[in-house]
Amino acid sequence: MTRGRRVRWSSRRGLPAIPSTPLAPKVWRSFDGATMRLCCSTWVLALLLPEAASRLAGQSVPAPSAAGNYVIDPDTQIRLVEGFDAELLYAVPPEQGSWVAMAFDPQGRLIVSDQDSQGVFRVTLAKAGDPAAKVRVESLPGFPYEPVPWGQRTVGGATGFLYAFDSLYMASMKGFYRIRDTDGDDQYDEFTKIQALEMGYEHSAHSIVPTEDGKALYLVSGNHSRVPQGVPSRQPAVWREDSLLPAMPDPQGHAVGVEAPGGWVCRISPDGKDWTMVASGLRNSVDLAINRDGELFTYDSDMEFDIGSPWYRPTRVNHLTSAAEFGWRAGSAAWPDHFADSLGAVVDIGPGSPTGMSFGYQSSFPAHYQEQLFLCDWTFGTIYTLDMTESGSSYVGKATEFLSGSPLNIAAMRFGPDGHMYFVVGGRNTASKLYRVRYTGPAQPAAEPRATAMQSLRDLRHGLEAYHDGGRGGRAAIEAAWPHLRHDDRSIRYAARLAIENQPVGLWQDRVLAESQPRAVIYGVLALCRHGSKTLTSRVLQQLGNVSFESLAHEDRLALLRAYSLCFLRLDPPTPAEVAAVVASLDPHYPAKDELLDAELCRVLSHLDAPTVVGKTIGLMKVTATKALAYDQELLGRHEYGEAILKAMANTPNRQNIHYAHALRRVQSGWTLEDRKYYFGWLGDTMRKDGGKSFAGYIRAIREDAIAHLPPSDAAAVSWLLGEIEGPDLGSLPLPKGPPGGWTTESAMQLFSGELVDRDYENGKQMFAAGKCIACHRFQGSGGYSGPDLGTVGKRFAIRDILVAICEPSQSISEQYQASKITQRDGAVHYGRLIYRNAEETAFAADPFALGVLTKLPSASVASLEPSQTSMMPPATIALMNADEVRDLIAYLVSGGNRKDKRFRRN
């Protein structure tokens, strides 16, 4: 559409209403400063589970309910709820970049920023309903810009804005700023860097919102940017990975070396001098929102590479109570939702890439929508509403699709002072646009009074949270909190435990060891294992041994098993007699005929090398049914990331059995030859299942670790099952006919000056193999995993964008696929995908076609490790092709592999 012209679509044009279709649940919240989360985080695929606790059980979450009737606008193909009107206010020209952050100033103007280097802009909005009104955009000079090289791009633009306390606050990848107009001329002239921040690319600092009391600010950051040094925390700083089963790093090398506390939220005073971390254990939350009760929420990302594994955690809404821990850990160490030393989700959403979120309180929408939390998704181009209800001192929610489009990569969203919704699409150099959504339907009745029946429980929790004070509460805090270790409400138990943990351990250790009430014993031990002396093993195990497993409720059984895990992780190793006693106590309850309990019993008994755990677990693996994945296929079809889920739906892995195999891989006792054969045979079969990009690598890692821990006699007996799984045979791929064109982006673009028609489908498919694309990229459910899925690339990118990615792969590198530059102390320099790094060894894959072939260096020999600005993708994959071969390849890509596409000639 013509730049600067306003294009409008209406949901009330007499179009036939489309029956509403349930979609995967979603959840969010935010205030004045929105940013985009553009990273794997998830972008994608998820197991839609009823609660994160069901993750190991493999159950699927019911799809969200429908909002009513939807209509599709014939001009824009946006689907939205009937009764709402949407306008395209402004198509951002290339010289203004791709917008990813936005906030309103006191005059009702938008402050927006390019993600890269084009700067900050102020947008004066056109009046709604006035066809003659136009948007006015002006560049704002002087804004801080700290460049971050990223391939051939230079990023570093603002990632979040908020106007508050007569100032504009700005977050970027490298800093947090306070910006003011000191002379009243309507131009910002004072730029103060309040705090330097660790750069984490798209997992850096994001949105800023005012606190619930209006006296300070909240800032949310992704997991690749550590909390600034010296910042105090409402959680005692004793976080660890706490994975009883030895963790496996992501086989694609993502987040290697990134440790707890993960993504965080800090409270910041208006002058920027006082910072306190209030929550952590997030992956890459981008935005925040506060409800009428003064409670803080975020929408956290998933790790789509993990789809199909038991440690996959879908995108989800989290209630950010004081000192909250949500258990993000790298690789297979991610905590399941039910771990008692963490807090669970308000709701699991599923596939997607969370960006902006905001309650509708300030909107002019009907009363029902004013109470909803609006959630934006970049990957699947969707805005959801979340209807939350009280659940004890926290909440549960149900999500519904509000609007969607393809492509509609929503980067940020806010409600304006006029009551309308505004959102921008953009990020990663994609075409950027500004939209407005307003209600134009008939008047609606006022909403019923909001339920606040649980306010007394929230007040109790708040009272306990006041003791998250770094030890100032002392004995009074312990006395106030202790009775609530046994409370029925999970969030209150958590707040009570953290109130106790904030006090000196010497004031409460003996009380834990003298406690007799079972639930208080469990939660007291959780605290003591995190703070007490490592020598307390025997006394702690004695206390836990006094708790009768069979007398406990389901959630307390899970908590007891987690308490045992923390004891074994954090305290001195138990004696053989103590191990035997724990095994004797737990083994009779395994299997428990409950998949969550079976998963945790298997975890603990495998760690203890219990003599019966192998036989019992192999028995379970033989009878555990594979749970079907339930996803909305239309939603998944909006983006190439959905292709992997659709493939997995047709070839579903057994996630519960993967957990069992993961747990058994180092067990030495109790194996029979038949068990070994079944175990390795099952792993071989599972290698042929489908999941996220890291799925096959994880199964391979389980298998290799199990082989490494085989006794020689057993290895010989099952050697026929231990052969390598074959990778792609590059020598068998076809070659272009040529003659070579030596193509650049510009010379290749000349091939597409006319309409792309009359192309050869089979030749395009053959060129996808000839260019070695198939070795690294998924397409139509097959291909490699070391690069992005290209299944719907034609829906999201223009031909020029595709050619830039082929001819200039270093122009823009996703952090998911970024290589590293590894410099040794002797001056040797290596390039490759970092796969893992520990105290002893640093391993990387130098060949993008063979990520399983690792170069290993002693970690002590590594002087530095930094992101490489050169893509691992070769830059000349189409160089040997002739003009028709290039045209056929591009037609094949933009068609999504559809041989019936209009671009192909009919035989």
User: Distance (Å, rounded) from C-alpha 762 to C-alpha 420?
Assistant: 49
As given in the structure block, the two tokens for residue 334 are: 């991610």
Angstrom distance (rounded) from CA 444 to CA 441: 8
CA proximity to 663, closest of 739, 605, 748: 605
> Residue 56 has what pLDDT?
34
Query: What's the confidence (pLDDT) of residue 560?
Result: 98
Low-confidence stretches of the chain (pLDDT < 70) are 1-68, 629-633, 636, 639-641, 644-645, 648-649, 716-728, 781-782, 784-785, 815-816, 851-852, 906-907
- For 504-534, the DSSP string reads -GGGTHHHHHH--SHHHHHHHHHHHHHHS-G
**Measured CA angle at 528 (ends 395, 337), to 5 deg:** 30
C-beta separation of 531 from 349 below 8 A:
no
The alpha carbon of 493 is separated from its chain's Cα centroid by a whole number of angstroms, namely 27
What are 767-795's pLDDT values in tens digits? 998 888 888 887 776 676 677 778 777 77
pLDDT for 816 equals: 66
CA angle 671, 675, 677 (to 5 degrees): 125
Q: Tokens 């579903």 label which residue?
A: 652
Q: At what angle do helices 761-770 and 883-894 cross, to 10 degrees?
A: 100
pLDDT for res 328: 98
How far apart CA 246 and CA 242 sit, in angstroms, is: 10
* CA nearest neighbour of 285 among 500, 30, 572: 30
Q: In what order do the strands lie in the sheet with 84-91?
A: 7-10, 84-91, 433-439, 421-425, 410-415
The angle at the Cα of 761, spanning 759 to 766, to the nearest 5 degrees, equals 115
Residue 188 CB burial class (10 angstroms; 0-12, 13-18, ≥19): buried
Pairing label, strands 99-104, 841-845: unpaired
Give residue 413's region: left, alpha or beta (phi > 0; psi -120 to 50): beta
pLDDT on residue 32: 41
The CA distance from 536 to 319, in Å, is 34
pLDDT score recorded for residue 598: 98
Distances (CA, A) of 759 to 219, 715, 888, 894, 901: 51, 53, 6, 12, 10
The verdict on pTM exceeding 0.75 is yes
3-state secondary structure 654-692: CHHHHHHHHHHCCCCCCCCHHHHHHHHHHHHHHCCCCCC
In this structure, are residues 428 and 155 in contact, taking their beta carbons and an 8 Å threshold?
no
Quick one: tokens of 467?
A: 């003791």
| 235: DSSP letter | S
Q: How many Å apart are CA 564 and CA 575, to the nearest integer?
A: 14
CB 303 within 8 A of CB 252: no
**What whole-number distance in Å separates Cα of residue 807 and Cα of residue 748?**
9
Total residue length of the chain: 907
Question: Three-class SS of residue 198?
Answer: coil
Structure tokens at 625: 């049914």
Residue 864 dihedral angles phi and psi, to the nearest 5°: -155, 155
Contact 73, 9 (CB under 8 A): yes
Where is 829: in which H helix or E strand? strand 829-837
Name the helix (H) or strand (E) containing 634. Answer: helix 633-636
d(C-alpha 200, C-alpha 222), whole Å: 8
6, containing H or E segment:
none
Cα dist. 583→167, 243, 245, 586, 609 in Å?
61, 19, 17, 5, 9
H helices of 536-592, in order, are 537-545, 554-570, 576-586
Give the 3-state secondary structure of 277-340.
EEEEEECCCCCEEECCCCCEEEEECCCHHHCCCCCCCCEEEEECCCCEECCCCCHHHCCCCCCC
Asked whether the beta carbons of 240 and 76 are under 8 A apart, the reply is no
Supply the pLDDT for residue 728.
61
Q: Quickly list DSSP for 841-893.
A: EEEEE--TT-TTS-EEEEGGGEEEEEE-SS-SS-TTTTTT--HHHHHHHHHHH
Check whether the bond before 739 is cis (ω within 30° of 0).
Answer: yes
Q: How far is CA 597 from CA 48, 57, 603, in A?
A: 20, 9, 10
| Tokens matching residue 284 | 């890459």
User: What are the respective helix, strand and coil percentages of the chain, to the nearest 5?
Assistant: 30, 20, 50
Name every residue whose Cβ is closer than 8 Å to that of residue 347 and which is 6 or more positions away in sequence.
25, 26, 27, 316, 317, 386, 396, 397, 398, 399
Amino acid at the residue 718: V
Strands 315-319 and 324-325, by their bridges, are unpaired
Give tens-digit pLDDT for 573-593.
999 999 999 999 999 999 999
| 717 C-beta neighbours (distance < 10 Å), count | 14
